[in-house]
Structure 1
């Protein structure tokens, strides 16, 4: 009998990726030096010339944010390559930076090794510089050659990021691409296109929504179209929530980083709902993460650590029929609770309710409800007014569901932060 979509099991690599919870995006390239988001492949390679590029500073900043991996835009839609590819002259090899001998991908890879960070690479399928792009077969060979370089020369890759923007209507040989990845980087997560193992959340604001479904039958294509990609069968594809610390993905002198409150609000609505967060930190024309962004990231990472570095673990007793008793062993005061599902058999929890049965409420009636929601997946963070409890009851809808972990926290923050604004994400091609 074919399993239901909710019983589709993840791979160990998918579970390991979900346990990372947060990564950092680095959008850097020819656009950085022209104040653009998308360029058309005609900007001169000679304009790429960072004066103080320090990939170690990038990766250290990502680590201070709490990230476990980074994703670098090795090639954006303009086709400019941050490594000295043998397949086009439109790369760092044609720039004055380091006399044409530089390799940004290599420097980021080395920094990741130094600081214990996992490396991911973004290779745009759409290429506005490549003359062969209009010829699908010729471009497939060109693109596979670039992908082979990246998958062969920079060590183990944690993630390969395929952006659908601009590729509407273009046919790629995704089976060929998937075979190459399987050959050279079988452990890499594949983002959203071809034969994906993770998917895009569907917006560029960094926000998931309850329920966060890990098993889907289609994926959203890009932020610039309503097109979706229908999968041949339902797949376990946990979502990644991408968002930039500034309005733009690339650095712009006139932009400022989001507030701490806004970043915290994003964290609760991504990681706190069971998705991964990919926070973009764009280096400037010096080749450095701007000082104000570094300061904000340190503030953000420190606050996340302050709230969640000292858990109050609870033992779990199975009461049967999708109900568990949580016991902290003694009365504790908490204002947050983190729940994690055992996902080894797939995502099974459809909804849940947490009740306080220490306050005179009867177990049979569920007691006073502290929090409720849909899925909780790899982690679900609830915030509520502080309460002193010893025991709680968790009830779920979902046959065969199991709890993996439960932790309480006393943070001093008793609600999920509000998002004061949402920056527009409609970046035109000539921005």
Structure 2
């Protein structure tokens, strides 16, 4: 690993939240598109039944801690009352042109006590000034300022790198807006990021999940924005949609519970954060099939992990000794690292039994915010955990008897990605 770099309090809080919901919504939702070129008519946006409160209830019901909304996608259509362009909700019939999706979602999040964040695409296919980087810098900074000053605290600001190859954004100006108005927000991927993309849109991380990364491990956008820093604490976020598409389509359907469980094991269960997209219909509501699937998934999650078996953890020389208060039967184990002084565990091994009966039941590299291992069910009273890494320290060990000795896998034909450098 690179030299130890410690996280900020904000980064630790974000990691501990573990799970948020993404909401892709806009003109694409009304035209069956994933990407559009900024020429779709603004007056086609009319979500007659939009209910931000219902969106947020689904966020709470599934156990997510925040919601990230696409305030502006690549087509340039703005979901708030902006002074920068007429290509916005102000030019639509929805709420007689006076509606503000960002405001309604932000208010619903505040009332529910969850975090709110925004996605503001740097690439804008509608803005006439986009071909003039200096003019667009002013345009984009004004849009970001509106979002940073009108809707309360933002937990996350999401910068998508799509479509931006070769374009030089004024990140110094953009970062200054965030520093002035939303200094506590996590910044995703570009500018001066505090969290990074995992490297795929399948919701899966791979071992090791490193929080301290160098330039060569990052995308061109993120690496270029690191200035003189050779290494930075940048925990990864795994973004994936509950459906095949990011926007709602009538011929699409939600992933199975097993597929979603595989995503959970491959993201949160690997020590990364998960951002699951749920796209509203053109009416402005979550599809009932998606809501049902979220509830089924959460029920399965709770069934497996809703009855934790706590253990006493103490250091014993080069090992951590884990003692349960009485013999327990477990088939899953969750480990959590003490991260306030940085990520330090580089490898770990879990051993059950003693002497000739000792057996390694799980092993891996990083632990981080949380690592979940599955293994054949066994009765244990004590475990030994060997960790590598200078100053490595476990914070928590929890056992579970879930009735599932193997981790669910994505559907046949799905190729698990690696946490590779972003190109």
Q: TM-score range by the shorter chain?
A: over 0.9
Q: Tell me how large the CA RMSD over aligned residues is.
A: 1.5
Structure 1 residue 192 corresponds to structure 2 residue 186? no
Q: 2:336 aligns with which of 331, 335, 340?
A: 340
Q: Offset at 1:62?
A: 1.5
CA offsets per residue over residues 149-171 of structure 1, 9 Å max, x none?
00000001000000000011111
Whether the aligned pair in 1 keeps the contact of 2:189 and 2:221 (CA below 8 Å) is: no
Gaps of 5+ in 1: 425-431
C-alpha contact 2:191 2:222 (8 A) present in aligned 1: no
Could you tell me which residue of structure 1 aligns to residue 78 of structure 2? 81
Shift of 1:228: 7.0
1:229: which partner in 2? Answer: 223
State whether structure 2 residue 197 is matched by structure 1 residue 206: no
Assess if the C-alpha contact under 8 Å between 2:109 and 2:115 holds in 1.
yes
CA deviation after TM superposition for structure 1 residue 39, in Å: 0.4
Matched, 1:353 2:349: yes
Using the TM superposition, give the Cα deviation of residue 421 of structure 1 relative to its aligned residue in structure 2, in angstroms.
4.4
Residues 10-64 of structure 1 show CA distances to partners (whole Å, capped at 9, x for unaligned) of: 0010000000110000000010000001100010000000110011111111222
**Alignment partner for residue 131 of structure 2, among 125, 131, 134?**
134
CA distance in 2 between counterparts of 1:133 and 1:220 reads 26
Query: Which residue of structure 2 lines up, in the alignment, with residue 395 of structure 1?
Result: 386
The 5 Å alignment of 1:246-325 reads: 246-321=243-318, 323-325=319-321
2:45 is aligned with 1:57: no
Instruction: Report SS of the residue matched to 2:295.
Output: helix
Q: Tell me whether 236-245 or 302-311 shows the greater mean CA deviation.
A: 302-311
Question: How far 1:361 moved relative to its partner?
Answer: 3.8
Aligned to 1:380: 371
Q: For residue 229 of structure 1, report the CA deviation from its aligned partner.
A: 3.2
TM-score with structure 2 setting the length:
0.95
Q: 1:320 Cα deviation (Å)?
A: 1.9
Aligned-residue offset at 1:227: 7.8
Give the C-alpha shift of residue 249 in structure 1.
0.3
Aligned positions, number: 411
Distance in 2 between the 1:397 and 1:78 partners?
48
Q: How many Å separate the matches in 1 of 2:398 and 2:345?
A: 18
Kept after mapping to 1: 8 A contact 2:193/2:222 = no
SS of aligned partner of 2:223: strand
Q: 1: CA distance between counterparts of 2:377 and 2:77?
A: 52
SS for the counterpart of 1:316 is strand
Which 4+ stretches in 1 moved above 6 angstroms? Answer: none
- Residue 331 of structure 1: how far off its partner (Å): 0.5
CA 1:422 to 1:11, structure 2 compared with 1: closer, same or farther past 3 Å?
A: farther
Q: Deviations over 1:139-185 (max 9, x none)?
A: 01000000000000000100000000001111111111111111101
Tell whether the 8 Å contact from 2:333 to 2:374 is kept in structure 1 after alignment. Answer: yes
Distance 2:3 2:390 in 1: 10
Q: Under a length normalisation based on structure 1, what TM-score does the superposition of the two structures give?
A: 0.93
Structure 2 gap ranges (5+): 416-423
Q: Secondary structure at the match of 1:347?
A: coil
Which residue in the other structure is 1:243 paired with?
A: 240
Report the CA distance shift for 1:99/1:422 in structure 2 as closer, same or farther (over 3 A).
Answer: farther
CA deviations over 1:96-132 (Å, ceiling 9, x no partner): 0010010000010011012111001000000000000
Q: Is 1:18 matched up with 2:15?
A: yes
Measured against aligned partners, the alpha-carbon deviations of 1:49-85 in whole angstroms (never above 9, x if no partner) come to 0110011111111222221011000000000000010
Shift of residue 260, structure 1, vs aligned partner: 0.3
Q: 2:145, 2:270 → 1: CA distance? A: 35
SS in 2 for 1:60: helix
Q: 1:228 to 1:11 in 2, by over 3 A?
A: closer
1:326 lines up with 2:335 in the alignment: no
Instruction: State the SS of the aligned residue for 2:373.
Output: strand
Give the distance between the partners of 2:119 and 2:52, measured in 1 at CA: 16
For 2:91, the equivalent position in structure 1 comes to 94
Question: Per-residue displacement from partner, 1:366-414 (whole Å, max 9, x unpaired)?
Answer: x201100110100001111111100000001111100111111111111
Structure 1 residues 112 and 183, CA, compared in 2 at 3 Å: closer, same or farther?
same
Q: 1:376 to 1:9 in 2, by over 3 A?
A: same
3-state secondary structure, aligned to 1:212: coil
After superposition, the Cα gap between the structure-2 partners of 1:395 and 1:204, relative to the gap in structure 1 and judged at 3 Å, is same
CA contact (8 A) 1:74 1:81 kept: yes
